[in-house]
């Protein structure tokens, strides 16, 4: 069977006989010393062959698993036929950030988890194919895939330029509305820019996808802090509708003694200094960062993995994760854990800090409590329980706390009419409607720390509802 066999002529048996492709990667020894992207992307031939594995199911379970309803069988079939331009058009119709999603979405728990091929063998590598098509579109496409409706004369303001805000902005611009995005930082992209490192998501990919939204008419104004520079009330006076997607960027600390010592960072600060403020380049005019020899990162999510792999690249001899449960319960993407281990990151499981020990104001060590797993808690995961008297002292010079984030109160504190839950998240209905008739919200400010694609799904649903509201 040749790679270019007409996919219409392939039997289900032929398709089932093809093995899932592996993602080519930079070698771990080389990559743990620099910030270049780890995954290299599929070559055309490998992408076509992988796409031929798709069974083109009538009951499109993969699409059900995707919060933005990417037309997966359609674009995968186009790849199998070698029609990469067509596949890029198909993707862009439903997903404004395919190059981002192809790199950072947890496909293993979404589209690929639902793929019927996964029942008997491995699922179609939807994420790898999405990245392939997005990169092909960036390199060779004409960027004209999305047509924009005639101007409606209605104005919408979006707060926050993360994946939720960008998706809503793109959908609304496409519907002909005049869209302005207010972003507090000096650059757009939200966590995609200041949180996720270059070695997982190159800034050039994000820039290209934001540029294509701007070509559709989305206007992004940076350095505008809603709640300080402008209030929600003023925005409501100036616009016909507003979508809030200001994320959940307020770091949570552990409340153990020693957290104020020099050398202790929140993951948010640590990653922002590198990703947004180029601390890793070591420029005299740049922001400083402490390059620890022994770095302890506390947490088990994507943020913890990004922080520990960044510490390794900044020169840490020992870059260590400390997580209070086991690897099975770690919320990080499977690929990030695998990559971290390959890069020499140490995983220390079932341990949690009791105290950060310092000398002369600087971190010297962390006193760890050893744990065991007890009964499941409200999250369904087995609860970590301290083993009495089982402690360990871990010497280190930097500690990064990556145990979660909460809603930043800056905006909501100046908009008391907006209904919040007990954790400070904005309360919405399924369409993203808040307690205010012309204000919608979505993404992490509603869900708490979640995922890129869930924030995008919220942006898409809210944009559809805003469009109905404006056209009513
Ligand atoms: P955000 O991306 O947080 O964007 C919110 C934006 O609003 C920010 O730019 C912020 O500056 C701006 N803003 C805040 N307050 C104001 C204000 N008052 N006025 C104006 N602007 C404001 N998810 C995945 O699916 N895969 C991953 O691999 C992954 N890795 C992650 C790694 C890290 C380090 C982190 C922190 C998160 C990761 N996540 C990942 C989670 C994911 O990034 C978030 O769920 C997602 O970005 C949420 O999108 P959002 O649009 O709601 O908010
Ligand atoms: Fe293809 Fe899997 Fe979707 Fe079926 S479920 S159409 S095999 S990607």
Q: Which long-range contacts (CB under 8 A, 24 or more apart) does 201-209 make?
A: 201/100, 201/103, 201/104, 202/37, 205/99, 205/100, 205/103, 205/134, 205/135, 205/138, 206/99, 206/100, 208/99, 208/138, 209/96, 209/97, 209/98, 209/99, 209/100, 209/134, 209/166
Positions of E strands within 299-420: 318-323, 346-349, 351-359, 362-376, 382-395, 398-401, 405-406
Q: Is the CB of 70 under 6 A from ligand 2?
A: no
427 vs 425: CA distance, rounded Å: 6
Residue-wise pLDDT for 325-357, tens only, equals 999 999 998 999 999 999 999 999 999 999 999
Strand 219-221: give its sheet, edge to edge: 219-221, 178-182, 155-159, 241-244, 439-441
Task: Give me the sign of the Cα torsion angle 134, 156, 452, 124.
Answer: negative
Specify whether the CB–CB gap between 90 and 69 falls below 8 A. no
Positions of E strands within 114-197: 155-159, 178-182
Q: Ligand 2: distance of its center to the CA of 62 in Å?
A: 6
Give residue 142's region: left, alpha or beta (phi > 0; psi -120 to 50).
Answer: alpha
171 SS3 class: helix
247 vs 454: CA distance, rounded Å: 12
Q: What is the best residue among 61, 71, 107, 129 to mutate for testing ligand 2's pocket, by most ligand atoms within 8 Å of CB?
A: 61
Residue-wise pLDDT for 354-388, tens only, equals 999 999 999 999 999 999 999 988 878 889 999 99
Question: Does the pLDDT value for residue 297 go beyond 60?
Answer: yes
375 vs 398: CA distance, rounded Å: 33
Residues 6+ apart with CB under 8 A from 378: none
Residue with the larger pLDDT of the pair 55 and 4: 55
Ligand of minimum distance to the alpha carbon of 230: 1
Q: Ligand 2: distance of its center to the CA of 442 in Å?
A: 29
Span 26-53, average pLDDT? 95
Q: Ligand 1: distance of its center to the CA of 449 in Å?
A: 8
347 vs 337: CA distance, rounded Å: 9
244 vs 231: CA distance, rounded Å: 12
Question: Does the pLDDT value for residue 428 go beyond 90?
Answer: yes
* E strand or H helix that includes residue 434: none
Confidence of residue 2 (pLDDT cuts 50, 70, 90): very low
Question: Does the pLDDT value for residue 4 go beyond 90?
Answer: no
pLDDT of 283 reads 81
Q: Is the CB of 55 under 6 A from ligand 2?
A: yes
369 vs 254: CA distance, rounded Å: 13
Question: Does the pLDDT value for residue 310 go beyond 90?
Answer: yes
Question: Does the pLDDT value for residue 1 go beyond 50?
Answer: no
Specify whether the CB–CB gap between 223 and 184 falls below 8 A. yes
Residue-wise pLDDT for 116-173, tens only, equals 999 989 999 999 999 999 999 999 976 556 789 999 999 999 999 999 999 999 999 9
Which residues lie with the beta carbon below 6 Å from any ligand 1 atom? 104-106, 159-165, 182-185, 190-191, 195-196, 224-227, 245-247, 249, 271, 302-303, 306, 333, 408, 410-411, 443-444, 449-453, 455
Residue with CA at minimum distance from ligand 2 atom 1: 54
pLDDT of 377 reads 85
């Amino acid at each position: 069977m040749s790679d270019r066999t007409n996919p219409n002529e392939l039997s289900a048996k032929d398709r089932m006989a093809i093995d899932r492709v592996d993602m080519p990667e930079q070698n771990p020894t080389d990559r743990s010393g620099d910030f270049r992207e780890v995954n290299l992307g599929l070559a055309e031939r490998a992408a076509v062959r992988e796409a031929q594995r798709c069974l083109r199911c009538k009951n499109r379970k993969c699409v059900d698993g995707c919060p933005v309803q990417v037309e997966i069988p359609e674009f995968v079939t186009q790849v199998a036929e070698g029609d990469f331009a067509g596949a890029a058009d198909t993707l862009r119709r439903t997903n404004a950030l395919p190059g981002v999603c192809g790199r950072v979405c947890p496909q293993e728990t979404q589209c690929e988890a639902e793929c019927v091929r996964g029942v008997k063998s491995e699922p179609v590598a939807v994420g790898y194919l999405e990245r392939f098509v997005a990169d092909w579109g960036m390199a060779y496409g004409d960027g004209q895939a999305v047509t924009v409706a005639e101007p409606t004369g209605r104005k919408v303001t979006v707060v926050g330029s993360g994946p939720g805000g960008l998706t809503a902005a793109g959908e609304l611009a496409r519907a002909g509305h005049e869209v302005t995005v207010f972003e507090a930082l000096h650059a757009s992209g939200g966590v995609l820019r200041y949180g996720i490192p270059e070695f997982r998501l190159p800034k050039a990919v994000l820039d290209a996808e934001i540029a294509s939204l701007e070509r559709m008419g989305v206007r992004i104004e940076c350095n505008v802090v809603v709640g300080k520079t402008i209030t929600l009330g003023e925005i409501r006076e100036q616009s016909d509708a507003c979508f809030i997607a200001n994320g959940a960027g307020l770091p949570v600390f552990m409340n153990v003694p020693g957290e104020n010592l020099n050398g202790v960072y929140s993951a948010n600060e640590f990653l922002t200094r590198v990703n947004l403020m180029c601390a890793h380049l070591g420029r005299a005019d740049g922001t400083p960062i402490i390059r620890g020899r022994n770095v302890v990162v506390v947490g088990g999510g994507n943020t913890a993995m990004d922080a520990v792999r960044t510490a390794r690249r900044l020169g840490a001899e020992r870059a260590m994760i400390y997580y209070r449960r086991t690897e099975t319960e770690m919320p990080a993407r499977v690929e990030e854990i695998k990559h971290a281990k390959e890069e020499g990151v140490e995983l220390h499981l079932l341990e949690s800090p009791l105290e950060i020990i310092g000398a002369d104001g600087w971190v010297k060590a962390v006193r760890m409590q050893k744990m065991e797993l007890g009964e499941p808690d409200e999250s369904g995961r087995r609860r970590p329980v301290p083993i009495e008297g089982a402690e360990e002292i871990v010497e280190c010079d930097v500690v990064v706390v990556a145990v979660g984030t909460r809603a930043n109160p800056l905006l909501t504190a100046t908009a008391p009419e907006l209904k919040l839950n007990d954790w400070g998240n904005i309360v919405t209905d399924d369409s993203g409607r808040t307690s205010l008739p012309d204000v919608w919200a979505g993404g992490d400010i509603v869900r708490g720390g979640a995922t890129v694609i869930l924030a995008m799904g919220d942006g898409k649903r809210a944009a559809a509802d805003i469009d109905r509201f404006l056209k009513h």
